[in-house]
């Protein structure tokens, strides 16, 4: 079961991106004709989700090479700065650069970008199988942010596990947090779940602990934007709170992400750079003030969940139960 959602489409001389800022009320595609257009789309949340960001950036470099091969380095730099926390962005840019150095042609870059896109979908389907195998029959799960086809090359990471479990008849109920302040859960995850008829309900971020205290929840399933060498995981703000609540209530916690999300050069979660965005995202909503004028705000986009709170990390190479530095290195075949 793959998703019917197609958020990233290559159109020969431009990249079409489903504008996730206006979902679920409008399905609008933006046309990106330069690397700068793609970088702006990534920064402005037209496209989001670590795997999708990497895929979009790869196509952005193709656009740069098609327009002016001499602009490649500048395009690489502007794309690298668009969202600093997502390791998939850096991973994709480094992979594209290796191909460019070997053969500096736009056609070579396009073939590599397409491979990155196709491999991500294949990885998601594999992770869906592995993660679904961990769930009991009649599973009730909770998820945070959006980790579906909208955030990836298709199918999804955490939401891919949910899709696969539903296709296997193992899933009874999904609870999706609204995910403040951009409401990716309310706008995007809920939209994907409704598109495919998966039984689901929406709840406020702050209601997760209450729900766990009242309902039997088997697993919390989330994605990741970067995983440190010891298994500490950076993900959308609110993930750490969800993990703490899950531990308190005996709910198992699963992280689902492709192997490109691991950063073995980053020893632990404290070393992961955390992006902070404009205070206006908290003090305003759709341009309307919701806080007193001049109110300051703290707006980190991500937080870090310690490995000790994670029951399993699922990547396309296998499942890491109770992740440790050694277990992470072993599954990635790194000394």
Active-site positions read 225
Burial status of residue 242 (CB atoms within 10 A of its CB: 0-12, 13-18, 19 or more): buried
Alpha-carbon distance 84 to 114, whole Å? 23
The Cα angle at residue 215 between residues 212 and 219, in degrees rounded to 5: 60
- CB-based contacts of 83, cutoff 8 Å, min separation 6: 42, 43, 48, 53, 89, 275
Give the Å distances, CA to CA, from 80 to 8, 136, 166, 295. 19, 40, 36, 31
Alpha-carbon distance 313 to 222, whole Å? 10
Closest CA to 240 of 264, 209, 215: 209
Closest CA to 236 of 300, 324, 170: 300
Closest CA to 36 of 60, 65, 66: 60
């Amino acid at each position: 079961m793959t998703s019917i959602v197609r958020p990233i489409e290559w159109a020969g001389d431009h990249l079409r991106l489903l504008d996730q800022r206006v979902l679920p009320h409008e399905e609008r595609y933006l046309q990106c004709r330069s690397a700068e257009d793609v970088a702006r789309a990534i920064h402005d949340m037209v496209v989001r989700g670590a795997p999708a960001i990497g895929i979009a950036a790869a196509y952005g470099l193709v656009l740069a090479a098609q327009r002016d091969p001499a602009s490649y380095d500048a395009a690489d730099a502007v794309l690298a700065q668009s969202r600093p926390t997502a390791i998939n962005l850096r991973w994709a840019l480094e992979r594209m650069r290796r191909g460019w150095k070997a053969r500096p042609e736009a056609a070579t870059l396009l073939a590599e970008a397409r491979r990155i896109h196709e491999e991500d979908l294949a990885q998601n389907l594999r992770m869906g199988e592995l993660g679904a195998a961990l769930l009991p029959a009649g599973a009730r799960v909770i998820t945070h942010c959006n980790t579906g086809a909208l955030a990836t090359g298709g199918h999804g990471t955490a939401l891919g596990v949910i899709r696969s479990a539903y296709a296997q008849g193992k899933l009874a109920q999904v609870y999706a947090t609204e995910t403040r302040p951009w409401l990716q859960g309310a706008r995007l995850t809920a939209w994907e779940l409704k598109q495919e008829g998966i039984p689901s309900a929406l709840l406020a971020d702050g209601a997760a602990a209450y729900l766990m205290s009242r309902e039997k929840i088997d697993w919390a399933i989330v994605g990741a934007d970067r995983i440190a060498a010891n298994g500490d995981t950076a993900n959308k703000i609110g993930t750490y709170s969800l993990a703490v609540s899950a531990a308190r209530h005996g709910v198992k916690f699963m992280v689902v992400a492709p192997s490109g999300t691991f950063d073995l050069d980053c020893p632990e979660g404290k070393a992961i750079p955390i992006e902070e965005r404009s205070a206006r995202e908290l003090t305003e909503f759709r341009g309307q003030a919701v806080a007193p004028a001049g109110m300051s705000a703290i707006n980190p986009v991500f937080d870090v969940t310690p490995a000790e709170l994670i029951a399993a990390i699922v990547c396309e190479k296998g499942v890491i139960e109770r992740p440790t530095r050694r277990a992470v290195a072993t599954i990635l075949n790194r000394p």
